[in-house]
Amino acid sequence: MMHFMLLFSRQGKLRLQKWYTVMVDKEKKKIARELVQIVLSRQAKMCSFVEWRDLKIIYKRFASLYFCCAIDEQDNELLTLEIIHRYVELLDKYFGNVCELDIIFNFEKAYFILDEFLIGGEMQDTSKLSVHKAVEEADMMQETMEEYLAKPTF
């Protein structure tokens, strides 16, 4: 099971975090700070798997963002890399070539796409098309609701 997913920049700025296990905020901040430091200190040619505490940390860099996941020791690292890659593909499909600014200014959409893809730390749907369709339907519903609320009432 995935315990959390973190997205952070090359400068170490946390851009998105999703926790699938219950922890106090102080512990979350400590973990995020420690993992950002560990991942950023590693060289580009090093393995993307790190054993940390009783978890495995899987990370991948795409453009200026690092995608970092923590999984149980018995979970499959390559499957987690595939989950990260699939999430990046979903973001690319939605935003057109996703960049750090897309995550900063549209973080609610990034969270929504992640929630459509993963539930409780487990992959919900492997189909990019069905996830993208669900996101488009939610966008349409939101636009319709905004239009409805913008109309004057007499």
For 17-57, the pLDDT digits (tens) are 999 999 999 999 999 999 999 999 999 899 999 999 999 99
Q: Does the structure show a pLDDT above 80 at 68?
A: yes
Q: Give the pLDDT score at 33.
A: 96
Helix (H) or strand (E) holding 59: strand 55-62
Q: Give the pLDDT score at 150.
A: 80
Mean model confidence pLDDT for the chain: 92
* Dihedral pair phi/psi, residue 18, rounded to 5°: -130, 120
The token pair that represents 139 in the structure block: 């966008």
Q: Give the pLDDT score at 60.
A: 96
Q: What is the spatial distance between Cα 115 and Cα 117, in angstroms, rounded to a whole number?
A: 5
Within 10 angstroms of residue 11's Cβ, the number of other Cβ atoms is 9
Q: What is the spatial distance between Cα 126 and Cα 89, in angstroms, rounded to a whole number?
A: 12
Separation in Å, CA 28 to CA 48, 88, 123, 130: 21, 23, 22, 32
Mean pLDDT computed over 5-25: 96
Percentage of the residues of the chain whose pLDDT score is greater than 70: 99
* Three-point CA angle 90, 65, 129, nearest 5°: 5
Among 74, 43, 77, smallest CA distance to 61 is for: 43
